[in-house]
Amino acid sequence: MVFIGDIIAKEEEYLAGKGTVVDEEGNIIASVIGKVKKDPQKKEISVLGKLVLPQVGDSVIGLVTDVKEKVVLVDIQEVKGQDDKKRTLPKTSGVIFIANLSQSYLENPRQAVKIGDLIKAQIIDEDPGAYLLTMKDGALGVLLGLCSKCREKLLEKGKDVKLKDCSVMICSKCKGIETRKLAKDYIYKGEHK
Ligand SMILES: [Zn+2]
């Protein structure tokens, strides 16, 4: 498998076929993600790009790896398109800005998510290093939240009074209270009242 920008051959070795470009130094470079195909008779090298890349609007399952003052960092595990088919991931970094965590005004991202949470989000933009994500929509948010003290699962206790689309969560073990912005299909929803 080669990625966009990978040098796959020299111009003196092969002719540049489909899915390739030639740079100023005579390197043949992949212009799509896919498999390299060499045609020994034509002396041609090409890249068969069958893979569909993530796009704006696709849904993402990811693990929260860091929560900073204004942003949440996500390790993207899986991307599905609006056709429900899996996408190939050239990069796995996701970023959610605090304003895209919830429809309520948050003072701190930790009111909606914490490190180690499994989340469902949506791609709203892309830059060379990461996908920009949102979990503002009602269906999006935390799929599985773990207690920040004892790492046990959090159960939904009820809706938060101030943060309207967030929930008050109780730890199934230490009974600690935290808040989360839950996805519609939160894994332990409804177990605790
Ligand atoms: Zn706990």
Would you call 179 exposed, middle or buried from its count of C-beta atoms within 10 A (0-12, 13-18, 19+)? Answer: buried
Contact in structure between 167 and 156 (CB atoms under 8 Å): yes
Residue 61 has pLDDT above 90, yes or no: yes
Domains 7-48 and 59-143 belong to one CATH topology: yes
- CA–centroid distance, 68 to ligand 1, in Å, is 22
Q: Domain ranges in the chain?
A: 7-48, 59-143, 145-180
- CA–centroid distance, 189 to ligand 1, in Å, is 17
Contact in structure between 104 and 159 (CB atoms under 8 Å): no
Q: Which CATH number fits domain 59-143: 2.40.50.140, 3.40.630.10, 3.20.20.70, 2.60.120.260?
A: 2.40.50.140
- CA–centroid distance, 170 to ligand 1, in Å, is 8
Residue 108 has pLDDT above 70, yes or no: yes
Nearest to 168 by CA among 152, 176, 153, 157: 157
**What confidence tens digit (pLDDT) does each residue in 73-92 have?**
999 999 988 888 888 777 78
Report the predicted TM-score, pTM, of the whole model to 2 decimal places: 0.73
The angle subtended at Cα 181 by Cα 139 and Cα 80, nearest 5°, is 40
- CA–centroid distance, 94 to ligand 1, in Å, is 27
Class of domain 7-48: mainly beta
pLDDT band at 190 (very low <50, low <70, confident <90, very high): low
- CA–centroid distance, 150 to ligand 1, in Å, is 4
Q: What is the DSSP string of 117-131?
A: -EEEEEEEEE-SS-E
- CA–centroid distance, 185 to ligand 1, in Å, is 22
